[in-house]
Amino acid sequence: MAICDWRGCSECATHVVDLVAPDISTERWGVCRPHDRELKTKFVRSRPRKTPELPLPTQTSVLCGQCKRVLPERSGLLPTEREPCPDCDSMSRSINVEVGGTMSFHSSLHVRARHSKGGWFVRTKTGDDYTRDLEAWGKRELMIDNEHDRYREVIDLYDGARLESNARLRDHPG
């Protein structure tokens, strides 16, 4: 078995981790279990944080309270500072404020399969996953296959970066 690629580590490499990102060449690492987690964390933290979305601008318009004509005046004028409506001479005003926003939904699915007798032989989690380090949503797929002794985790980040970790399940306890 190969030795862990992590500098200074002499443990056996039990996990193969592929790192892909738009701005770097693809890397393949053979690492031990402790360095599997450390490599994933280091890779995610090396990616740029997502730029926060700017709030949509608020728009305000002033209308005559009587005839609803749009008036070219500030919304904060005191009643004593207002000019009468040129159409109906009313001094009453209606202030319209338009506010916008965005909403997004996220989902994930957890599936477990088993034979008619016995414990679970495969567990899968897939779907949206929030990364606090980047303050962004991405996708995560985790598959634990007891029957075929396989562990697989794939993380797709918002910026197109992707990491995939594969190991024998016996080498990935917990």
pLDDT at residue number 156: 97
- The pLDDT of 29-36, averaged and rounded, is 96
Q: Which two tokens stand for residue 95?
A: 């202030």
- Tally of CA atoms within 13 A in the half-sphere of 142 that contains its CB: 12
Q: Check residue 60 and report its DSSP letter.
A: E
pLDDT at residue number 115: 83
pLDDT at residue number 144: 95
pLDDT, tens only, 75-133: 989 999 999 999 999 999 999 999 888 888 999 999 999 887 878 889 999 999 998 88
Listed residue (135, 106, 129) closest to 45, CA to CA: 135
pLDDT at residue number 174: 65
Single-letter amino acid code for the residue at 14? T
More confident residue, 55 or 60: 60
pLDDT at residue number 15: 96
Q: Which two tokens stand for residue 79?
A: 């009643």
- The pLDDT of 51-79, averaged and rounded, is 91
Q: Is 104 helix (H, G, I), strand (E, B) or coil?
A: coil
Mean pLDDT, rounded, of the chain: 93
